[in-house]
Amino acid sequence: MTETRDDNVTWLTQEAYDRLTAELEHLSGPGRIEIADRIEAAREEGDLKENGGYHAAKEEQGKIEARIIQLQSVLSNARVGEAPRSEGTVGPGMTVTIKFDGDDDEITFLLASREESGAPIDVYSPKSPLGSAINGKKAGDKASYTMPNGRTTTVEIIDAVPYGGS
């Protein structure tokens, strides 16, 4: 079977996959039990309207449940290894060097899932406006995208090479 690029796949290193799996296991098991115990202890203190500990624990519970859902989604779409790629073409797992139009400074970053944020260089998501605009482009190509402030900017791809790790 030939690997093809799939926007729904999150490519993770084995280390990132293991770290996220361990976090999910902790939050789904001991993490849920700990927060339930804290909520129960706060509930026993009495009036819930003025019980700051209760409200803080309930808020934390919501954050834990949201993180569990996020981790389940990432891991269900994850593939361990390296995304299919070719030297000179921008894609996940590539170290990309770009230059903004009108600026001589070059910026180098790793195009990867934010779950790879342990990388020693800046990480940009392939799903970000910049990542989406340059994905699949080759060195020498230009790409335009709309920034969060609503302005459109253009970048030139200088280089794209496989990420070599730390």
What's the pLDDT score for residue 121?
77
DSSP letter at 112? Answer: S
The pLDDT, as a whole number, for residue 117 is: 58
Q: Which domains, from first to last, does the chain contain? A: 10-80 (1.10.287.180), 94-162 (3.10.50.30)
For 81, which DSSP code? S
Q: Which residues of the chain have pLDDT under 70?
A: 1-9, 11, 82-87, 114-120, 164-166
pLDDT confidence of residue 4: 41
Per-residue tokens: 155: 């970048």
Give the max Cα distance, the chain.
66
In terms of Cβ atoms closer than 10 Å to its own Cβ (0-12, 13-18, 19+), residue 40 is exposed
- The pTM for the full model equals 0.54
